[in-house]
Chains A and B, each alone.
Chain A
Amino acid sequence: MLHVENLHAGYGASEVLSGASLEVKQGTLVALIGANGAGKTTTMRAISGGLKPSRGRVVLAGQEVQGLDASRIARLGLAHAPEGRKVFGPLSVEDNLLLGAYGRLPRFFGFRTKAQTDLERVYDLFPRLRDRAKQASGTLSGGEQQMLAIGRALMARPKVMLLDEPSMGLAPVIVQEVFRTIRRLKEEGLTLLLVEQFAKSALEVADYAYVMERGRIAVEGTPAELSRNERVIAAYLG
């Protein structure tokens, strides 16, 4: 479903990714773990088009998308819930969700009706968002904002969803809730690429995992394989 090959990207003259390759098969959850600054966020941005890769290929559902504008890639079925959530603070929770489905909705009138089933689905998943539907999203707690960021990405009915550090800065109880949600989305058949600091939790939900070091994939395998790999244990699971 998502196929990344020999990806190179960076900021200005400094190259951060030097040939990263990975694959996310349909209906699977793939985890991408690695130390701070390894290039995980950069990988996601290079996939979703926020950053133009200087070399390499990104294939989404059979179509090459590297070099396209982020908005084009999003409309082709890639949803990216970015690091730091990036909700539209001045807009209401519901407006944020509606904008998640921007690519499939009429631009002027009738968009709310058309999005109703998807809205209900997200509200069922995150009942707290329903209570706060009319509230400005900037006033939500960190955990609620993360739920909104995930809900907004779901609204697109994406072929693949990228989720960058959903647990960042959240209390342990909330982190557990986020992981329960991720597990549930996976069971519903969503195709997911997940970046996480909590390597252990990530490996528990993942079907396959990649370990990134200095802009390259250093180790890959099933969670069971990685949990036996001494290098991985020492660096990330200790």
Chain B
Amino acid sequence: MNVQIIGQMAVSGALMGLVYALIAYGFQLTYATSKSINFGQGELVMVSAFFSLTLTNLGLPYWAMIPGGLLFGALMGLIVERAAVRLALEQKSEGWILLTIILGLFFFSSAENIWGRDDRPFPTPISADPIHVLGVDVTRLELSVAVGVIAIMGAIELFKRRTLLGKAFEAVSADRDAAELMGISATRTVMLSYALSGAVAALAGILVSPITTVGPTMASALILKAFSVAVVAGLDSGFGVVLIGMCLGALESLASFYLGSGWREAPGLVLLILALALRPNGVFGKATIRKV
């Protein structure tokens, strides 16, 4: 075994793992305010990526396309909240589980109809040539994933800690009824969390598309791993998902290198099965979510 190669594989994989972390972070945002998540989040990643591709094809420069894509993601998040989540939560039912899945299927077939079934390349001005950092080769493209993920998570965490609106977000997460007594609208806060979650999903799509291409099924594997990360890391620790996401990414990369590319999905599934076996209530059991 070559230490150099192991390091190389681990770093590349860990950088990709940040995308799982980012999607899992999107689950955390809505779970915090409403104890609900969008099971169609993968489709949100996918349609936002397609929309961003369309913006690029219309001639929008890369850096102007990003805010457009994020805004679209936020809007889609609001649609999910309005169409699939709000009524169910008002009736204190679990109906949002089925409704978000159905809405995801609807987005999926809409995307197929609008953009077709083919995988398409996603142009980016960021170079895929390797550069040498601390003894390993990474591409600027891979680094851009890391920078994008850390930037948006950092910005949202700063927002939560430094602004009054962000503190209100935390207050609703801690005690929704008490927050209402302070004049904070819980409904609006849940909307905000779905908008942020949608924007985060859109960024995940924009960051990963130049590496994986854009297609209707682009997010199906991603979302499974984001779930694994969320289940293992818990739904309340942003730091946890980053850590677990990077570990999973590194493990996948090593598995596919040493065992063959067919084994790439194995670590994620093993992780998910282990987590669910040790925590049978899974994502939704409050007491079963470990704090990392």
In the complex, the answer to whether A107 meets B163 with C-beta atoms within 8 Å is: yes
Q: Does B128 contact A (CB under 8 A)?
A: no
In the complex, the answer to whether B164 meets A102 with C-beta atoms within 8 Å is: yes
In the complex, the answer to whether B167 meets A75 with C-beta atoms within 8 Å is: no
A-B pairs with CB below 8 Å: how many? 81
- State which of A75, A91, A103, A107 has its C-beta within 8 Å of the C-beta of B170: A91
In the complex, the answer to whether B185 meets A69 with C-beta atoms within 8 Å is: yes
Docked complex Cα distance between A174 and B174 (Å) = 26
In the complex, the answer to whether A74 meets B164 with C-beta atoms within 8 Å is: no
In the complex, the answer to whether B180 meets A71 with C-beta atoms within 8 Å is: yes
A89-B174, A90-B174 known; A95-B167 Cβ under 8 A: yes
Q: Does A156 contact B (CB under 8 A)?
A: yes
Q: How far is the CB of A104 from chain B (nearest CB, A)?
A: 9
A70 contact set on B, CB distance < 8 A: 177, 180-181
In the complex, the answer to whether B182 meets A152 with C-beta atoms within 8 Å is: yes
In the complex, the answer to whether B185 meets A156 with C-beta atoms within 8 Å is: no
In the complex, the answer to whether B180 meets A106 with C-beta atoms within 8 Å is: no
B174 contact set on A, CB distance < 8 A: 88-91
In the complex, the answer to whether B183 meets A75 with C-beta atoms within 8 Å is: yes
A82-B178, A86-B178, A107-B164 known; A156-B170 Cβ under 8 A: no
> Chain A residue with minimal CB distance to B181?
A80
Among B163, B177, B182, B185, the one with the most A-chain Cβ atoms within 10 Å of its Cβ is B182
- Knowing that A100-B182, A108-B163 are A-B contacts, what are 19 other residue pairs whose CB atoms are under 8 Å apart, sorted by A's residue number? A49-B180, A50-B181, A69-B180, A69-B185, A69-B187, A71-B182, A71-B185, A74-B181, A86-B177, A88-B175, A90-B174, A95-B167, A99-B171, A99-B179, A99-B182, A107-B165, A108-B164, A108-B165, A156-B182
Task: Report which A residues bind B (CB closer than 8 A).
Answer: 48-50, 69-71, 74-75, 79-80, 82, 86-91, 95, 98-100, 102-103, 105-109, 111, 152, 156
